Amino acid sequence: MRFNTMRHGAAIVATVAFGWIGFAQAQDNQPAPAAPAADASATAAEAPAEPQLPPEVAKGKYLATAGNCNTCHTVEGGKPFAGGVSFPTDFGTIFSTNITQDADTGIGKWSLDDFKKAMRTGVRPDGQHLYPAFPYTAFTILTDEDLAALYAYMKTIAPVAEAPKQNVMKFPFNQRGLLSFWNKLFLKEGTFKAQANQSAEWNRGAYLVEGLGHCGACHTPRNFLGGERTDVALSGGVYNDKNRKGDYRPWSAVNLTSAPVGLGPWSVDDIHAYLKNGVSKRATTFGPMNDVIMNSMKHLTDDDVKAIATYIKALPPKSINGSPSTDKAMLNAGETVYTVRCGTCHMPTGLGADSLGVPLVGSAVINASDPSTLINTILYGTELPPPPFVSGRRLMTPLADEMSDEEIAQVSTYLRATWGNSAGGVTAAQVAKQR
């Protein structure tokens, strides 16, 4: 979320967005539904067998994994689902809540209806609005059946008496009531409706990507009110997350559509392999995608990951990219920096090599409309998931101490303007901001 794009009165509403919100309802522009909603979520048969758990609980556990509830609601080394994970923004810090079964500090007293209401509308039983850092704008499409299964699973979570940390919000952003206005604009309630003209696999993928997977929370650009721009859904977003040093900095979540600057160059198998194993011909997971893959996607059935890949691959091409730089001096300087600093692993051609660097030709990270992730990668290297994860490639080491802001801007600008890559130039000031 880039708060600097917000203006005057709008900022009051905009500040509730916090870069974690929302998702895009891909069915917005599509023909009216023909199949019953439940069709899309026939997951019971696909969920891995958990003989020790009743079937509905096992299904709920699987759905909780698909929704990555654990990652956002568990601090490192803390008790599962006890909350306390911080989501810092320019307007204050939100902490995730305790969603264990503790009656006082958790959700132990919540009925199924209370739970459904929170998941679909972001409203708690006491009538308070939740900040959209909790992705209820995506979870709102979940079917009754799936919410009941999730609830059944949540009921099995051991109670932990731990009062949720108080959000530290500046006035007036501490006024939760403002969210009712924001929701009128940006919350599109309604259970997922399968598209009759698409395959069962595509529909399953759509349900997972737009719902539990909440990919759009990071990958969709936002308007000046902090709402997701559904017209350019999944074409690349920006939000704050930890860099390798533990500091919060902007990250760009790449364009997932089939645009040439997005996942156009990726096959369904490339997307499938990347989400399931964290490694594909096109990329190795690093940074913020590590949690998405290692805590969530990796544990889904092959069929579900394939469905996600199928749906993503079918997204029509969209891009909000600016034009690449034509500054000859800058481009020449960038080419030299590339040869010295990058070419040994990524090859002079930019095509990479199996055991060295990944291809930079057609890289979605290089082509992201916002260069934050590209800059983070050069400054801090790529932080891979912890062992036993292996990429089979040479590690990309941090270059922050060896390269100036100017050199990083030059090589970034060059890479975004060469080999068919196409995205706007990068300035030294942008690099300085990411340090």
- Sign of the C-alpha dihedral, residues 94, 275, 343, 362? negative
Query: Which of 259, 307, 374, 375 is close enough to bind ligand HEC by CB under 6 A?
Result: 374
Per-residue contact flags (x/-) with ligand HEC for residues 203 to 222, judged by CB under 6 A: ------x--xxxx-xxx---
Distances (CA, A) of 226 to 34, 83, 101, 138, 389: 32, 24, 32, 15, 36
Q: Considering only residues 21 through 60, tell me which ones interact with ligand HEC, judged by CB under 6 A.
A: none
> Cis before residue 388, ω within 30 degrees of 0?
yes
Shortest Å, Cβ 214 to ligand HEC:
6
**Nearest alpha-carbon partner for 70 in 44, 96, 95:** 96
121 binds ligand HEC (CB under 6 A): no
Phi-psi bin for 163: left (phi > 0), alpha (psi -120 to 50), beta? beta
434 binds ligand HEC (CB under 6 A): no
363 binds ligand HEC (CB under 6 A): yes
Which range in 50-58, 195-203, 338-346, 426-434 contacts ligand HEC by CB under 6 A? 338-346
Q: Considering only residues 87 through 116, tell me which ones interact with ligand HEC, judged by CB under 6 A.
A: 87, 94, 96-97, 99, 107
Query: Which of 130, 320, 351, 361 is close enough to bind ligand HEC by CB under 6 A?
Result: 130
Contact at 8 Å (CB) between 369 and 321? yes
DSSP secondary structure letters along 165-213? PPPEE-TTTT-TTHHHHHHHHH---------TTS-HHHHHHHHHHHTTT
Size of the site for ligand HEC (CB under 6 A): 74
Q: Round to whole Å and give the CA distance between 150 and 155.
A: 9
68 binds ligand HEC (CB under 6 A): yes
Query: Which of 14, 315, 379, 411 is close enough to bind ligand HEC by CB under 6 A?
Result: 411
133 binds ligand HEC (CB under 6 A): yes
Query: Which of 342, 379, 417, 426 is close enough to bind ligand HEC by CB under 6 A?
Result: 342
DSSP state of 28: G
Q: Round to whole Å and give the CA distance between 131 and 60.
A: 24
Cβ closest to ligand HEC, residue 330 vs residue 384:
384
Query: Which of 47, 312, 379, 417 is close enough to bind ligand HEC by CB under 6 A?
Result: 312
Q: Considering only residues 235 through 294, tell me which ones interact with ligand HEC, judged by CB under 6 A.
A: 251, 253-254, 256, 263, 271, 274-275, 283-284, 286-289, 292
Shortest Å, Cβ 52 to ligand HEC:
21
**If DSSP codes are grouped into helix, strand and coil, which group holds residue 147?**
helix
Shortest Å, Cβ 143 to ligand HEC:
13
**Tokens of residue 19, six digits:** 């870069």
345 binds ligand HEC (CB under 6 A): yes
Tell me which amino acid residue 152 is: A
Per-residue contact flags (x/-) with ligand HEC for residues 381 to 410, judged by CB under 6 A: -x-x------x-xxxxx-x-----------
DSSP state of 355: T
Cβ closest to ligand HEC, residue 6 vs residue 337:
337
Q: Round to whole Å and give the CA distance between 260 and 420.
A: 9
Q: Considering only residues 138 through 157, tell me which ones interact with ligand HEC, judged by CB under 6 A.
A: 150
Which range in 26-34, 43-51, 321-329, 344-352 contacts ligand HEC by CB under 6 A? 344-352
375 binds ligand HEC (CB under 6 A): no
Contact at 8 Å (CB) between 119 and 142? yes
**Tokens of residue 390, six digits:** 């292996």
Q: Round to whole Å and give the CA distance between 153 and 147.
A: 10
